[in-house]
Amino acid sequence: MLKFIQDIKSQINSTLPDNSVGQITPAIMRAMLQDMTDSLYSRAGALFRSAATAVAQALTTTPTNYPGIYDTTRAVDPAVIAANLVAGTVVPAVTGFGCTATIGITVDGANGRVVTAALAKNGVVSVSSRVSVTCSGAGNKVTASADTPIIGVVAADIFTLVLSVDTAVSINVWQQALVVNVNPTFSAI
């Protein structure tokens, strides 16, 4: 079970007393070690496009989630964080853990068009997690990505990657990625 590091430290002190009276059993040790190993690695939910061909997508100036661009999903531990390919969402099932988000795009389009990708949490676009690229013509791929720490995540928050363009136009999307990690965390933040 995923636990805060502070809770594991408390568990060690409370369940592993001085063993002079034989209170530390193999079952207690197994449970403790399992909790420790379960709590010391990141869990990720990811959506991305892995196909070798682009998707022509009509974009607008309004940041919008386009789940049809994705073709692959991964979740290291769906009980902690899940990815939904159809909805284009990544949703954690835990509260208080520090998280990180990675967004990325590779696109091509009409010369001078500015494509922006941004992380949205519960439909609100983040001002701190966005990237923009300027297209330099059809067939000329441009790429951008960003990693952002996220604090204040609660269970059932909905993360999406939203795209927009400076002037409504069709853009070829070669790659699109949204990865959200739930990280080992000392105590609730």
Q: Are residues 54 and 34 in the same domain?
A: no
Q: Is the pLDDT of residue 19 over 70?
A: no
Mean per-residue pLDDT, 154-171: 97
The percent of residues above 90 in pLDDT, for the chain, comes to 75
The residue range of the domain holding 71 is 43-182
Q: Are residues 79 and 158 in the same domain?
A: yes
Kindly state whether residue 177 falls inside one of the protein's structural domains.
Answer: yes
Q: Are residues 26 and 63 in the same domain?
A: no
Q: Are residues 72 and 18 in the same domain?
A: no
What are the structure tokens assigned to 164, written together? 């927009």
The CA distance from 8 to 142, in Å, is 45
Q: Is the pLDDT of residue 129 over 80?
A: yes
Q: Is the pLDDT of residue 17 over 80?
A: no
Q: Are residues 16 and 89 in the same domain?
A: no
Mean per-residue pLDDT, 136-143: 96
Kindly state whether residue 75 falls inside one of the protein's structural domains.
Answer: yes
Q: Are residues 35 and 113 in the same domain?
A: no
Q: Are residues 26 and 80 in the same domain?
A: no
Q: Are residues 116 and 32 in the same domain?
A: no
The CA distance from 159 to 151, in Å, is 13
Q: Which residue has the higher pLDDT, 24 or 170?
A: 170
Q: Is the pLDDT of residue 23 over 90?
A: no
Q: Are residues 115 and 75 in the same domain?
A: yes
Kindly state whether residue 188 falls inside one of the protein's structural domains.
Answer: no
Kindly state whether residue 151 falls inside one of the protein's structural domains.
Answer: yes
Mean per-residue pLDDT, 178-188: 94
Burial of 31 (0-12, 13-18, 19+ CB in 10 A): middle
Kindly state whether residue 189 falls inside one of the protein's structural domains.
Answer: no
> Which among 127, 132, 102 is positioned nearest to 117, based on CA atoms?
132
pTM, two decimals, is 0.90
The CA distance from 32 to 46, in Å, is 29
Binned at pLDDT 50, 70 and 90, residue 177 comes out as very high
Quick: pLDDT tens for 30-76: 888 888 888 888 999 999 998 999 999 999 999 999 999 999 999 88
Q: Are residues 30 and 92 in the same domain?
A: no
What are the structure tokens assigned to 88, written together? 């284009």
Q: Are residues 32 and 78 in the same domain?
A: no
Mean per-residue pLDDT, 101-105: 97
Q: How far is CA 37 from CA 12, 94, 148, 156, 166, in A?
A: 13, 17, 25, 24, 47
Number of structural domains in the chain: 2
CATH of the domain at 127: 2.60.120.40
Kindly state whether residue 23 falls inside one of the protein's structural domains.
Answer: yes
Q: Are residues 35 and 59 in the same domain?
A: no
Binned at pLDDT 50, 70 and 90, residue 14 comes out as confident
